[in-house]
Each structure stands twice: as structure tokens, then as C-alpha cells.
Structure 1
Amino acid sequence: MATATKRIVLVSTDKAFVQDCRTAFAASDLIQLSTVEKSVVELRGEIQEADSDAIIIDMDAAKLEDVEALQRITRRLEGKAPILVVTQEFNAAAVRILVQLQVADFLVKPLTTADLVRSCIRVLQGPGREQNTESQIYTFMPAAGGVGCTTLTLQTAFQLHHSVTRGASTCVVDLNFQQGGCAEYLDLEPRFDITEIENQPERLDRQLLDVMLSKHSSGLCVLAAPTKPSEMRSFNADVVVRMLDLVSAYFDNVVIDMPRTWFPWTETVLLGSNKLYLVTEMTVPCLRHTQRLIQAIYETVGREVKPNVIVNRFEQRMFENGVKQADVEEILGDHFVGGISNNYRLVREAVDRGVPLQEVDANANVINDLKRIILPEEAVATPKKQRSILDMGRTLWRKSA
């Protein structure tokens, strides 16, 4: 059966944004993009006449006249086509208004066209499909201090976010409330005020979550609290569970950076993970502690979750004294899933600049090593298979046509 073409109308006065969208959507035979280069206030009957499957409106959610114009459009459409809003404003009031107007999704500039395309795919698939799609949760836990767990957590998040096969909305959750560094590694302001919901976890809803998220220019979201090194606090498990439930409801990929310390909620997080990675180093004490950590996980959560061990700063030593790959494989057995090359200079530069590793060197050995572990299907893919992100929705559209 032939697949029907989906028609999307873009309303924007941002010429550069319009051109980027045209280029991004031109790669697909399944989407026909038409543009209305007017502000939302100037619209009259253009959207109704277009008879589109979805509408993208580029507007300023902080301007009352723009919001009123959006209200008029939603009333006229009567739910016939989902609306996706792109705005530069990102505060509690703007989020609340957009949620009340029941827009299908909203994105904040600056954003990548890949994020916009993915959002359009989800919107076109409809709310039923979105509710039935289970979030994938990747949890990283350090076997010792200073093993590079945060670096690998963030790099995994970037790889998932831009993946051809799994690329979708991605959020990093920093559960190291005392000494977490996810936000600082990306030069972002940590905005998760856990004290605001500590005694009332049910207060955390979509609007409050959006306000507390830190957003990277790539579109990657980070949920991190300001660190307080002098306070060793153990929050109620209900707070962490509520937070993770909400994040997993709105993001396709959730990547968690765990603290070394075991808390009352640690077991719940491990059980809820699709993939659990323990990060260790190539030293005898660290590998022994990794063995003990694996045993502790099995004793606590049973065999429901298998710990996968990543050896960071991995070095092949053939004729030197010290730990060799054969030793690592013997100690860890089938828990060992791969090593990450020792490239301290690259990692240090990325951290000091507050940028992802690929901005320093897109072909670095660290990136490729991690990709072979997290995205093995893409690590061996040929360039011919690197297709447009629009292709991700084709199978689903064929089934629904």
C-alpha cells in the first residue's frame, strides 16, 4: 500500500531557520513542507486553507499578542492538526501557557533541525504511539572515584541523541546531588531545585520539570541540582522515583550518572534500568572493587539487571608489567564489554571548554570506542547506511497507512 505524504506548514519570519528546515525536510519523500513567512500575529486564514497534517509555529511565547494569536489558531483548528511551537522563551509562565493550549510539543531555540524533525515524527505518529513507546534508561555507576564516569555518561547521551538508529529526545539525570559534575562539564547552570519538591514529590509535573531542565545548544537536556559538597543528604526515594518517572515519560533516552555511595533509592534505579554500566580502571585495586560491586548488585537486586563493565583509560600492554587485557577478561568474565582508550588530553580540553568530545575531535578514539559499546550497529555501519533522520519514521508510517 502506498504511503500517504504528510504535509507540514511552517510559520516563521526567521529566514535562516526557514532555510534550514527546508533543507532538512527535503531529504524525505514522505513529508511535504510548505512555509508561511509571516509572524503568528499576521496570520489570517493561511493555516486553515493549507489543510496540513501538522503545523510548526515559530513565535515568542513571552509576547502577549503572540500567545493570543496562537489561542485563536488553536480554536479555529479544533484539534484537526497538531501544533508544534518553536520559541526562544523558556520560563515557567511560557511553559504553563503552552501546556494549557495543549500544543503537541514545544522546542526552544537554538535547536538542531534533527531535533525538530524527530519531534515532527512523534507528533505525526500521534499521542497513542508516544504513550506506548518505552523510554530506554542507561545507568552509569563508578566503581571508584575519578574513573571518568561522568565523561562517559555525557558522551553516551550525545551519541544516543544524534544516533541514526536510536536518535531521539535525550536527557541526562545527575543523581550525584553532593558532587555531581554533569552540568559543569557542559558549562550549564544546574537548575534542579530538589528542596522545592523534597516534601511534596507530587508537585513535580511537566511544567516544573521544564523549568528545572538545563538545555545544551545541541538539544540535549540535563537535570542536575546545584552541588553542596558540605551536605551529605539522603533524599526520600519517592522524590527520585517521581523525578525519573516523569523524565522517562517525556524523553526517549534517559542517561543516569550515579554516585558511588549507595542510597535507599539506588536499588530502585538499578532495577528500572535497561542497561547498567559500571565504569572502572585498569588497576588491580579498582578491578577487585569492581568484582565486589558486581556481587553486591546481584545480592541486592538479583539477576534482573546484568552489570556491564567498561574499563576506562584502557591500554594494551604486551611487554610491560602491570594489568593486561587478558587479566581484565579473566577477572571480569562476560561482564567486561569493552575498553575506552586513554586520551587524557582530549578529555581535559573538552571539560575545560565545556563542550562534548566531538567538538574537539569527532573521530577521536574515545568516541569510537564508546560507540562500539553503546551503538554497535552503527559502529560497523557503512556510510551508505547513514540515512536521513527522517527515515526513522518510515516503517511506522507504512504500518499506519
Structure 2
Amino acid sequence: MDALRPVPRISIQAFCETPASCAAVEEAGRDRRMAKAHLRVQTGGIRAAMEHYASAPTPNLMILESALDPEGLLAELETLAEVCDPGSKVVVIGHHNDVFLYRELTRRGVSEYLVAPITLIDVISVVSSLFAAPDAEPLGRTIAFVGAKGGAGSSTIAHNVGWSIARLFESDVLIADLDLPFGTANINFDQDPAQGIAEALFSAERMDDVLLDRLLARCAEHLSLLAAPSVLDRTYDFPGDAFAALIEAAQRGTPVVVLDVPHVWNDWTRSVLQQADDIVITATPDLANLRNAKNLVDTLRKSRPNDAPPRLVLNQVGIPRRPEIDPAEFLDPLGLKALATIGFDPQLFGTAANNGRMLAETDARHPAVAAFNQIAHDLTGRGAPKAVPRSGALKLLDLLRRR
């Protein structure tokens, strides 16, 4: 058991049919190696999971028990696939030691099959092998937010979208404020941590999960912040790969890593943007923003030919008496569709910023909050919020494969 690696910050939900399996999973959740994971154990098996996920997002890992025969188990999993989000992993606890069943489950995208009765060692071992093994792919998806121009509101968008992802999907999010001299994440979240991203960068040679955990500030449930010092007692000149070790450590331990990139252009910002899984450019509808956004989009398309193009958020739309470029005319030369268009509301945005709160905490019904929620769905690949089970005979492999 000592050889097992600690499990990262993932969400796990178990639906068990027998008291013995419930007890084993709950006992595993109390182990120190599972301290970072958010584990919830419920009864009812796969049928209960289908009812629950018809209107709720699926977690990073589902543990499902079924005492059905192989044919019945496969049929229930096929139905479950209709309400599963992409990227979720599935571990099945069954009561039949059947090689054919194991091969069929693996073919359909199930990550592991355990034969009951199980122990806490079985649970920790399978979770560790899926998410914490040395050869496992990085868990976290990096989303870089950058402004086309200073003052476009990129940081505000990044912080509110990160907060929405954590709240909507109950999935851990790490926000890293990369603007060391002038970052505002600590203000926007009303935090004053003694340490943060500066200590992480200047200790890059010994960066690991333990050090990163010590530097994080907890902003809300499922949301952590790596704050910028926001002081000018030194200059912050970094080589191109300065943030690589930090981002890799963050990816190993957190499902979603939001990178708040400052509006500067040098080796390290270019490197961070080139390596991000997704890029969101925030722009306001004027000519300078259009020129800068066009340059960013063209440059990133050339340096990332096999990746999706950057996303674009049009912000501060509708400022009274300010000449603006029509959104359609703004988007046309970029060859993009707007991820969201957010109207100008200085009262709400200013109140939220001055109080150290997110917009949803200030006015949950404001249209900007709905925009942030939609961006969160789009960036995580979860699509529109689920209201009813999705239809169609979709293969489990198609919906449960890793992103």
C-alpha cells in the first residue's frame, strides 16, 4: 500500500448495490492518499446513476456496481452512455469473474473491472493507476485567457469562468495569475496569501505536488488560486520555459487549470499560449482590438497548426456614445465565431470587483453570468446543461473516451 501514489484533486461518485462495496469505497475515501479527491458514495447501482446524471454533470470518475449477469450489465451501461459527459472515466464493480465480460467492457471504454468483494486497497489502487501513475497522461486541461488589448477584461472573464466551472461541474479548478507585477486575481477573490506564483517560479527546480499545494490559496469549494505578488520590488524577466514545470505540476493534480496571461508579448507568454489546450482571446469592439486580435489569431494558427483556433469573447459591448465595430464585422476578418458577447455594465462589474466577489455572487440572474456559464460548458466540452437524457444509441466508447 505504501507504493500507491496520492490521488489528485478529482471528483469521484460511486453508486453501489451492496453494503460491503459501499463500506470499502467509503473507507478508501478516508485514506490519506485520497485526501484531495472529492468522493461521494450513493446506493442504487447503475440505475440510480442513470437517474442522477440525466440532469447533472458526470464526475472525473464513476464507480458503478452491478450484480446483473454480463448481458444485463452491458445493457445497463449502454443506456448509461446516453447521459455521460465526454472525458469521464468508469470503473465497474461486478459479481461475475468472466474474461469475455472484461474484454467487452474494455472495448466499450470502461477503464477497469473489479470483481466483488472489493477492499479499500482495490479502490485506491485502481484510482491511483488511472490518475496518479507516473506514465498517466496529465489530468488537467489548460485554458489560457489573454486580452487583445490592455483593459479588455480578460482577467475578469478568466476568473468568472473558472469560478463557473468549479461551481457547475463540482470539478476542481486552479487559477494561476501569471501577471506577477500587476495581477488582480487576489483582489477579485478577496485573498491575501503570503505566497503564490512567484515562489513557485523561483523554486522551479524543486516544483512538485507538495510544494504547489503549499502555495495555493483556497477561494471556494473546488477552486484554488495561485496568486501573483502584485508588487514592484523586482523585475520579472523570465526565459521561455519558465512556467513549464509549474504548469505541468498543476496539470498533474487538477482537472482544469486556468491561466490568466497578461497582455505582453515575449518568449514566455508565447510559449504558454502555444502549449495551452485552449486559448480564449478577450477583445472589445474597436479597431485596435481588432488589429491585435487578428495578429494573435494568425500567429497562433501558424504555431499551432494541429490545434483548434483560439476562441474569442467580445466584451464591454454597448458603451454609450462610443463608436463600435459591429460584432459581425469584427468577427469576419478573424474567421471566428464569438464564444460569447458580454454587454457593458460598469455598475455590476465594478461592484463585484470592489467587493472581491464573482458576478454570480453579486447578481446570479445577470446575462453576463449566463454567458460565463455557457463559456464554461463550451470550454469543458460538456455542451449545453443537461435537462433530459440524450437520445441515440451511442457507444460507451464514444462518450467515455479521454479527451
Distance 1:286 1:162, change over 3 A: same
1:247 maps to 250
Give the 3-state SS of the residue equivalent to 1:226 in structure 2.
coil
1:363 maps to 365
User: 2: distance between equivalents of 1:354 and 1:279?
Assistant: 21
Amino acid at match of 2:251: S
1:329 maps to 331
Displacement of 1:158: 1.5
- 8 Å contact kept, 1:191–1:225: no
After TM superposition, list the pairs within 5 Å mapping 1:97-246 onto structure 2: 103-106=33-36, 126-130=127-131, 131-132=136-137, 134-164=139-169, 167-193=170-196, 196=199, 198=201, 200-229=203-232, 231-246=234-249
Amino acid at match of 1:142: G
2:345 maps to 343
1:8 maps to none
2:315 maps to 312
Give the 3-state SS of the residue equivalent to 1:282 in structure 2.
coil
Greater alpha carbon shift after TM alignment, 228-237 vs 143-152:
228-237
After TM superposition, list the pairs within 5 Å mapping 1:25-40 onto structure 2: 30-31=15-16
Q: C-alpha deviations, 1:130-180, integer Å up to 9, x for none? A: 24563211110111111111111011112221234xx42111111111111
Give the 3-state SS of the residue equivalent to 1:30 in structure 2.
strand
Amino acid at match of 2:30: L
Distance 1:372 1:354, change over 3 A: same
Runs of 4+, deviation exceeding 6 Å = 117-124
1:271 maps to 274
Displacement of 1:283: 1.4
Please give the root-mean-square deviation of Cα atoms over the aligned residues, in Å: 3.9
Amino acid at match of 1:255: V
- 8 Å contact kept, 1:343–1:366: no
Q: C-alpha deviations, 1:192-227, integer Å up to 9, x for none? A: 455645555231222211110010133300112311
User: 2: distance between equivalents of 1:238 and 1:326?
Assistant: 37
User: 2: distance between equivalents of 1:198 and 1:137?
Assistant: 18
Give the 3-state SS of the residue equivalent to 2:340 in structure 1.
strand
User: 2: distance between equivalents of 1:161 and 1:350?
Assistant: 18
1:79 maps to none
Relative to the length of structure 1, the TM-score reads 0.64
Distance 1:230 1:140, change over 3 A: same
- 8 Å contact kept, 1:143–1:289: yes
Give the 3-state SS of the residue equivalent to 1:349 in structure 2.
helix
User: 1: distance between equivalents of 2:373 and 2:251?
Assistant: 23
Greater alpha carbon shift after TM alignment, 369-378 vs 216-225:
369-378
- 8 Å contact kept, 1:191–1:214: no
Is 1:289 the counterpart of 2:260? The answer is no
Give the 3-state SS of the residue equivalent to 2:220 in structure 1.
coil
Amino acid at match of 1:160: I
Higher relative contact order at CA 8 Å, sep ≥6: structure 1 or structure 2?
A: 2
Displacement of 1:83: 4.2
Amino acid at match of 2:129: G
User: 1: distance between equivalents of 2:223 and 2:17?
Assistant: 27
After TM superposition, list the pairs within 5 Å mapping 1:44-63 onto structure 2: 52-55=23-26
Amino acid at match of 1:281: T
Distance 1:314 1:31, change over 3 A: farther
User: 2: distance between equivalents of 1:326 and 1:250?
Assistant: 40
- 8 Å contact kept, 1:198–1:236: no
Q: Aligned residue pairs: how many?
A: 301
Give the 3-state SS of the residue equivalent to 2:267 in structure 1.
coil
1:71 maps to none
1:84 maps to 30
User: 1: distance between equivalents of 2:324 and 2:160?
Assistant: 28
User: 2: distance between equivalents of 1:375 and 1:316?
Assistant: 27
Displacement of 1:341: 2.2
User: 1: distance between equivalents of 2:14 and 2:261?
Assistant: 43
1:353 maps to 355
